[in-house]
Amino acid sequence: MVFTLGKDWQVEPIAGDTGTAFMGTNKEEKLFLKQNTSPFLAALAIEEITPRLVWAKRLVSGDTITAQEWKNGRSLHKSEMTQKSVAELLHRIHHLPVLKKILGQIGGKTVTPFELLNQYFRGLNPQLRSHPLLKDVANRLRSKQPNFARSNYEVCHGDLNHKNWLLSDHNQLYLVDWESALIADPALDLSMLMYHYVPRENWQEWLTSYYALGGEELPPDLEARVHWYVLMRLLLNVKDAYERGRFHEMNQDIIKLSQVLNEQSLL
């Protein structure tokens, strides 16, 4: 994508991104530019969950460009994902009614366990449908869907990869890249965090601390819900890898499914 901000600006793509993020610089200012980002960004910036939104413009092509304050900093390391600051920011996101209201108003999706299962089965290749392990896991998930009221659903980021957490040079933590935002059971977000970054033996301690931030006790069904979403995400990963022809990744995820199921079968 080619665009200009004016004669005094230089716009360069950010290496390693998907081609939608740019750095805009002039003599006195530097901005983070993003193509066609969610209108939800404005609410996130007001709450200081993402860096400050400077402006948004619609181009002649119909594309939109948003400009955010450039923050010097770095992504979190995997080992830093268990820090209290991560839990605090995620807990705040999950408990801000204004975010849920705004995301709903702009057409944000509400995703239930039933809809995730439908997503998996929709167009599923017969080879995957008949695979013994995948079939077993899918049947377990279908029969043990979390019984969590939709009225308690909250805004979820949907992709809590450690690279999406930005720690500025002034020690301000942000969560960026909200293209996968949805309204869902918070256990969906927590499942990714638990599976990828928290040792299994520390799940209960981490989750207990997370709920204590709001003066709440750990819900008795939470670990089962987290476990359900871990397995669901892995099933979806298997399907996605198969459809893209990435069979090594698919087999690795099948192995992970078996391991998760054997570690502690809550289903």
Strand pairing of 182-184 and 173-175? unpaired
265 CB-contact burial (10 Å; exposed 0-12 / middle 13-18 / buried 19+): exposed
Closest CA to 228 of 120, 150, 140: 140
CA separation for the pair 96, 128 (Å, rounded): 39
CA separation for the pair 98, 252 (Å, rounded): 40
Closest CA to 136 of 236, 244, 252, 231: 231
Residues in the chain: 267
- 63 catalytic per annotation: no
Identified catalytic residue from 136, 159, 221, 240: 159
- List alpha helices for the chain, DSSP H: 41-46, 84-94, 97-105, 113-121, 126-129, 132-143, 187-197, 203-212, 222-243, 247-263
**Which residue numbers are catalytic?**
159
